[in-house]
Amino acid sequence: MSYTCGMLPVLDKAGDHQYEMAEYEGARARWCPGCGDHSVLTAVQRLLAAEQMIPEQTVFVSGIGCSSRFPHYVKTYGFHGLHGRALPAATGIKLNRPELTVFVAMGDGDCTSIGAAHWVHALRYNMDMTVMMLDNGIYGLTKNQTSPTTPQGFKSNTQPYGSYLPALNPLAASLGITNASFVAQTAEWAPSHLYATLRAAYKHKGFSFVRILQRCPVYTPSLFQRAVQEPERIQLLVHDDGVVTPDLEKIYKAQLHHDPADLAAARQLAEQDDRIILGVFYRNPSKPRYEETRRVVPRTPAERVTLLEEEFARYAV
Ligand SMILES: Cc1ncc(C[n+]2csc(CCOP(=O)(O)OP(=O)(O)O)c2C)c(N)n1
Ligand code: SF4
């Protein structure tokens, strides 16, 4: 069975075919052994299979970086673009093909440095897509340069005496943008939390920004070491409208009941730097989405020519 969205045929969910997880596997991942990106890929492939997403109606968009190799490793459509430019490409795709399910994979450099302007405006445009920012606190692909999320004092090739400035806080920054509608944090070493958070992000109608704390055993091996080994450093946000992971609640005993509808509380939590907080900080499904107001109406080539001629005529002297 199929229905139509404008002029484009849209297939129903998987129909009779039951997709297995293996059917979403693309090329063999070439990340280093122990890289946290592997864990994110597994969670995403699980989600694709659980939701029976149709590969040809799903697209992964990325910039450049280790994490941006993501589209190669999932068997869906993909666009591996330019450093920092994943979000403009994803915006164009969603605007012209709103029926597609769009995922974006970015590194912390990709998103919060060269792509920062796009990040700000994409949050405000609130177009329906799931955005994963894999934060390893460093430029991985180009081998160890300071990124905006590198902790102060951390030595790298570009700041060998230690990063000069305090790290940028991607959660607080996202929550400060007008019309942001979904902001969450998870960690790749907590697979059930990672999966539940990505699922919540996928289900949210709007721009779902998920910061994923990601280990890079090559350049920032110490960054999350204590958080991994000492679960008391982690605090879980729990709420029925957030993510629920009963198995983890035994490991992470520090829990906070937080209603993701409360923006002021979310902003306060995002500023805490004495612990790592995992969960949905903010979710508001009623925020306006740009693709709803600016939907591109599908046209035939002849209609496009007529419209272009009308437009040129307006400027004729
Ligand atoms: C315009 C431009 N500037 C710089 C680069 C070089 N470059 C490629 S990836 C990258 C940083 C990657 O770091 P990040 O986005 O944090 O992702 P990671 O590799 O850590 O996953 C840089 C600086 C580039 N490809 N294009
Ligand atoms: S350099 Fe770091 S981020 Fe890049 S693949 Fe290796 S472990 Fe992963």
CA 255 from chain centre, in angstroms, equals: 24
The reported pLDDT for the residue numbered 94 is 95
What's the DSSP call for residue 297?
Answer: P
Distance CA 317, CA 133 (A): 50
Least confident of 77-86, 228-237, 296-305, 308-317: 296-305
Question: CA 35, 36, 38 angle in degrees (round to 5)?
Answer: 80
Q: How far is the CA of 16 from the centre of ligand 1 (A)?
A: 42
> Is the model's pLDDT at 7 over the cut of 70?
no
Task: Indicate whether residue 188 lines ligand 2 (CB < 6 A).
Answer: no
**80-123 pLDDT, tens per residue?**
999 999 999 999 999 989 999 999 999 999 999 999 999 999 99
pTM: 0.92
Burial class (CB in 10 A: 0-12, 13-18, 19+), 288: exposed
Would you give the distance in Å from CA 174 to the centre of its chain?
A: 12
Residues 6+ apart with CB under 8 A from 171: 183, 185, 211, 270, 281
Average pLDDT score over residue span 132-141: 98
Contacts of 311 (CB under 8 A, 6+ apart): none
Report the SS3 class of residue 86.
helix
Comparing CA positions, the residue from 114, 53, 48 lying closest to residue 81 is: 114
pLDDT level of residue 202 (50, 70, 90 thresholds): very high
Which one-letter amino acid corresponds to residue 128?
D
Residue 273 has pLDDT above 70, yes or no: yes
Flag whether pLDDT at 6 surpasses 60.
no
What average pLDDT does range 264-293 have in this prediction?
A: 96
Provide the pLDDT confidence category of residue 4 given band limits of 50, 70 and 90: very low
| Helices within 146-256 (DSSP H only) | 170-175, 191-203, 225-229, 246-249
Sorting pLDDT into bands at 50, 70 and 90, what band is 3? Answer: very low
User: Is the predicted pLDDT of residue 2 greater than 50, yes or no?
Assistant: no
Within 8 A by CB and 6+ apart from 168, the residues are: 112, 148, 149
225-243: average pLDDT: 96
Question: Cβ(141) to ligand 1 under 6 A?
Answer: yes
Nearest ligand to the C-alpha of residue 214? 2
Q: Which two tokens stand for residue 295?
A: 């939907």
Least confident of 1-5, 23-27, 65-69, 177-181: 1-5
Structure tokens, 263: 């923006």
Is residue 239 within 8 A of residue 280, CB to CB? The reply is: yes
Index of the ligand 2 atom closest to the CA of residue 134? 3
Torsion of CA 218, 32, 226, 136, to 10 degrees: 80
Measured in Å, residue 314 CA sits from the centre of ligand 1 at 43
User: Is the CB of 142 inside a 6 Å radius of any atom of ligand 1?
Assistant: yes
